[in-house]
Structure 1
């Protein structure tokens, strides 16, 4: 009886009977169900039969990967590196006293515009004035000795003319006069030198410019030659930037430098690389690059923040791609190139890396400008993989444009 009721799951032609019919049969006579519970194997077979009858065969889904692409830039691309810097004077002097002493006055501040000959600082001149007075006394003493020796020489020359003294005595007087004259000359030269030393107690600017630094204050004792004031000469200016060590050689060859001031970013200033430091800064570990700008550039002040863009050309066969487009396969690098119009597939193209800047690299290989290269999802692809492009560039979708135009035309009609 139980077997006959379960047999209603299939008709004589082998077709499946709806599950609701089986459920209603069980509700009218649950006894067969109890019999089936005592026959677990039979129940399992029936359950699997019912599940197989109700389920559908799974549809086969084609593996299509979504990717992002970029259109290859033309060869001989521009390489741009932008570095921050500051405006500085091309010529800057660090001034110091020629003599040592105690500073008693500072007459300028940072930013003071000074003229040639203007006093910047003063030293205590007391010791120098005493030395000058000593030199004056030495000159007076030497002058007296010289005049005495000169008078003796003249008198003995007259006596020699009358043959009252020997020639040896006259020669001795002549020698004494010459020694006195030399002593006078020495004393006079010492006096002039001490006069200059006294004048060195006043520090003056030797150029027209701007004070950029003060390294000593009043009351401080400084040695001769110690820099105490820095003065930037008016006129020629330059922008100084710090370049990382992996870009120094590339920036050195840059033939076009564009400078923009942070205060006026719309003003474009053409500059040229004047000097590249051969030694890295011990603190920042960067190499100073000095960029000369025209002297007549308006609104450029010392200390302003500036940005220098170095523009150069790559080799004729170099192409620029994002760093994410590269895939390492065994011992070489490759990129995925998208091919096909309706059905898009990818293939590997071996490449050679010729340079890198930031998140972009320049590569060389069997590539042409205008081709599409995968930039996202490169690790999930295999040769011949079908792909769909996310946010495809406009230039790479001519078919989509044509289809959209046709649809718009049909809707208008």
Structure 2
């Protein structure tokens, strides 16, 4: 091999070795700086402003039923009929009930006959005793027989009264003044005692029934400024008051039912109308509010990322309620702190961040 070829090969090997050494060097690691959006915390008056749709319903609605069973022979009302106290709503076939009352009367007459016979015998033996014709033991037996017969009369009389009352129960009458909201049975149907057949609602007191999500129940329970607007007449504002809050959620909608009462003398409010219920209030003391996106859940603890010296640290907080789409913090955060509001789920403790315009931590 000539000297020139050997020199060229040696140069190529040296260049290849240099290239390999350059590729084997690990790249220098650069610390990741993640851009985030932040806000500076400030305490202020927190307003609760929420609106829910509901339905006008009666506060009092009676589900009326017959106290005895039987076949319905007459229906005197329809849905929407106005009724007064004592008006006849439905009637049952009274024939069987009348027969029972007649049987009770017959039992009473038989018991009275036995009692009269026992009383006559007792008096006759008492006269014989006065002449010393019978012993005292016989008199005691006759007195006992008379008392037993009198007790049978009392029992028969009570039974007859009960059967007579049942005959009167064949007619269903309204015990309130109101309007018929539903009819659950028709003529020819056989009903059992206690089965509701007619619903009658009072018209003197009405209320609005709404469904509220579980995260707003406790907050709205304390709100005193409640107003109602009817969809049929939205220009009229009706004052309302929270009367009842359901302790359990509806199994179908998973919302809590709230009943809002309205003045009894309010005109133009009809059952079944659609209404809008608005809750408005301001907190008595200043509160800190952050958007929901600022919260981070880790191991069952709710926290926020606080920016300090260009890095973030996790600060546990306690939630005190909601205000619109924001969350009210009662502890764990202080005015003047800078917290991350966007990108919080992508951070880790001590990570360097870059603040998006137009907020910068001092």
Under TM normalisation by the shorter chain, which class is it? Answer: 0.7 to 0.9
Separation of aligned partners in 2, 1:277 and 1:245: 11
Note if contact 1:318-1:354 (Cα within 8 Å) is conserved in structure 2. Answer: no
The aligned residue for residue 110 of structure 2 is: 141
One of 169, 173, 177 as aligned partner of 1:200: 169
Separation of aligned partners in 1, 2:47 and 2:115: 82
Deviation at 1:139, TM superposition (A): 0.9
Structure 2 residue runs of 5 or longer lacking an equivalent are 1-36, 347-352
Deviation at 1:85, TM superposition (A): 0.9
The aligned residue for residue 359 of structure 1 is: 325
Separation of aligned partners in 1, 2:276 and 2:234: 9
Separation of aligned partners in 2, 1:384 and 1:196: 84
Separation of aligned partners in 2, 1:153 and 1:285: 76
The aligned residue for residue 68 of structure 2 is: 99
Deviation at 1:357, TM superposition (A): 4.7
Note if contact 1:115-1:207 (Cα within 8 Å) is conserved in structure 2. Answer: yes
Q: CA 1:124–1:295 in structure 2 vs 1: closer, same or farther (change >3 Å)?
A: same
Give the match's secondary structure for 1:194. helix
The aligned residue for residue 242 of structure 1 is: 211
Deviation at 1:225, TM superposition (A): 0.8
Q: Is residue 240 of structure 2 the alignment partner of residue 271 of structure 1?
A: yes
After TM superposition, list the pairs within 5 Å mapping 1:170-209 onto structure 2: 170-209=139-178
Separation of aligned partners in 1, 2:76 and 2:42: 60
TM-align CA RMSD: 3.7
Q: Is residue 127 of structure 2 the alignment partner of residue 158 of structure 1?
A: yes
One of 271, 282, 286 as aligned partner of 1:313: 282
Q: CA 1:386–1:196 in structure 2 vs 1: closer, same or farther (change >3 Å)?
A: closer
One of 304, 311, 336 as aligned partner of 1:332: 304
Q: CA 1:268–1:161 in structure 2 vs 1: closer, same or farther (change >3 Å)?
A: same
Greater relative CO (CA pairs within 8 A, separation 6+): 2
Separation of aligned partners in 1, 2:320 and 2:83: 52
Deviation at 1:312, TM superposition (A): 2.8
The aligned residue for residue 341 of structure 1 is: none
Q: How many residues matched?
A: 305
Separation of aligned partners in 2, 1:75 and 1:179: 86
Give the match's secondary structure for 1:316. coil
CA deviation string 1:110-135 (max 9, x = no partner): 22111111111111212111111111
Structure-1-length-normalised TM-score: 0.64
Note if contact 2:72-2:93 (Cα within 8 Å) is conserved in structure 1. Answer: yes
Give the match's secondary structure for 1:169. helix
Note if contact 2:49-2:324 (Cα within 8 Å) is conserved in structure 1. Answer: no
Separation of aligned partners in 1, 2:118 and 2:126: 12
CA deviation string 1:67-109 (max 9, x = no partner): 9xx9x99821321111111122222211111111122222112
Q: Is residue 223 of structure 2 the alignment partner of residue 254 of structure 1?
A: yes
Separation of aligned partners in 1, 2:356 and 2:98: 95
Q: CA 1:384–1:162 in structure 2 vs 1: closer, same or farther (change >3 Å)?
A: closer
After TM superposition, list the pairs within 5 Å mapping 1:35-184 onto structure 2: 75-184=44-153
Structure-2-length-normalised TM-score: 0.73
The aligned residue for residue 5 of structure 2 is: none
Q: Which structure dedicates a bigger proportion of its chain to strand?
A: 2
Note if contact 1:327-1:334 (Cα within 8 Å) is conserved in structure 2. Answer: no
Give the match's secondary structure for 2:129. helix
Q: Which structure dedicates a bigger proportion of its chain to helix?
A: 1
One of 255, 262, 274 as aligned partner of 1:293: 262
Note if contact 2:289-2:326 (Cα within 8 Å) is conserved in structure 1. Answer: yes
Note if contact 1:103-1:219 (Cα within 8 Å) is conserved in structure 2. Answer: yes
Note if contact 2:66-2:169 (Cα within 8 Å) is conserved in structure 1. Answer: yes
Separation of aligned partners in 2, 1:385 and 1:320: 21
Give the match's secondary structure for 2:44. coil
Note if contact 2:101-2:164 (Cα within 8 Å) is conserved in structure 1. Answer: yes
Give the match's secondary structure for 1:259. strand
Separation of aligned partners in 2, 1:163 and 1:187: 36
Deviation at 1:316, TM superposition (A): 2.8
Q: Is residue 196 of structure 2 the alignment partner of residue 227 of structure 1?
A: yes
Structure 1 residue runs of 5 or longer lacking an equivalent are 1-66, 336-347, 388-413
